[in-house]
Amino acid sequence: MSHNIFDLKKRFLEHLEVERGRSIKTIANYDRYLSHFFKNAHIKTPKDINKKSIGGYRLFLNRQKIKHPRGEEYLKKKTQNYYLIAIRVFLKYLSREGISSENPDRIDLAKAPARDLDLMTIDELNRLLSAPNTGSLNGLRDRAIIELLFSTGLRVSELCSLSRFIDLARDEFSVRGKGDKVRVVFLSREAKKAIKEYLAKRTDTEEALFIAHKKGVRGNKDMRLTPRSVERIVAHYAIKAGISKKATPHVIRHSFATDLLENGADIRSVQALLGHENISTTQIYTHVTDRGLREIHRAFHGKRRK
């Protein structure tokens, strides 16, 4: 069996695709992270992956600068961790295959700062939801998109993959998300009404739920909206609604989660509705939504002061 590092990487990526069911995008990211590690840490064989080579690579990552239009900045700790996670998963694969290399459990992730959430107020959400002009087919489509995003907390890629043949007689449908995992999402009354009104005006036979409505867009061209198109649609209506802060489909997903938690939903249920594999991902929302702690503070703090 070849222990050439690039042959092992190829087998590892095939393992991710076939046995772990990872998406093509995830596999491409692992390929990029590992190739970057092999090149900059001078890895040729599994035995080259050791405490010294990993330590040197971590130092290299920490000193990396990324160019932006606004200037240069160091690689964020969160981004550094993506590379380290790829190395750990690769090493676990090698261990499973009986190939001697560094112990993956010895690779600690960088301590990243707490994540800041971009959120919209309920007033901003209401303005965004009412911004589309429903006198046109595009307006009906765009209102249905925004209502559906807020009703379900769908990722933009999940929304774009939907078929128009979802059963609107029910208030729920299944969606295939990250890691090819299926979960159930639920339609609000407003979202269901908006989708029905949009589909009632459609005269095409396209399978996609949300498509581009432009004259001359036919033939072999795929009319399904892309994630980038949906991002532009949301940004357009945010400007129209006078919302100056960041507004994206993912911000609406954040708002979906915080709305549930603020109204008393438990964290496990929100985890399931968002399709998070680990509850730690969902817990980023709790520090901005824990009304119970706020009420305890108001009720009990400072009672002995005169």
The values of phi and psi at residue 208, to 5°, are: -65, 145
Query: Which residues on adjacent β-strands are paired with residue 175?
Result: 183
Retrieve residue 26's tokens: 């995830």
The superfamily in CATH containing domain 122-294 is Intergrase catalytic core (1.10.443.10)
Residues of the chain with CATH 1.10.443.10: 122-294
Q: What count of other Cβ atoms lies within 10 Å of the Cβ of residue 39? A: 9
Which candidate in 58, 88, 143, 276 is catalytic?
A: 276
Provide the pLDDT for residue 132.
Answer: 95
Q: What is the pLDDT of residues 226-276, one digit of tens each?
A: 999 999 999 999 999 999 888 999 999 999 998 888 888 888 999 999 998
Residues of the chain with CATH 1.10.150.130: 5-106
The values of phi and psi at residue 66, to 5°, are: -110, 135
Residue 237 CA to residue 124 CA, distance in Å, equals: 11
Chosen CATH of 5-106 out of 1.10.150.130, 1.10.220.10, 3.30.1360.40, 3.40.50.80: 1.10.150.130
Q: What is the pLDDT of residues 69-124, one digit of tens each?
A: 667 888 888 899 999 999 999 999 999 999 999 999 999 988 876 666 778 888 99
Residue 40 CA to residue 26 CA, distance in Å, equals: 21
The answer to whether residue 237 is catalytic is no
Which candidate in 178, 183, 202, 224 is catalytic?
A: 178
* CA-based nearest residue to 129, from 155, 108, 148: 148
Whether the full predicted model's pTM is greater than 0.75, yes or no, is: no
What does the H/E/C string look like for 200-211? HHCCCCCCECCE
The answer to whether residue 253 is catalytic is yes
The answer to whether residue 178 is catalytic is yes
Which candidate in 155, 192, 198, 254 is catalytic?
A: 155
The answer to whether residue 3 is catalytic is no
The answer to whether residue 30 is catalytic is no
Helices assigned H by DSSP within the chain: 5-18, 24-40, 51-62, 77-96, 122-129, 137-152, 156-160, 189-201, 227-240, 249-262, 267-274, 279-282, 291-300
The answer to whether residue 74 is catalytic is no
Which candidate in 9, 22, 253, 254 is catalytic?
A: 253
Which candidate in 36, 164, 224, 250 is catalytic?
A: 250
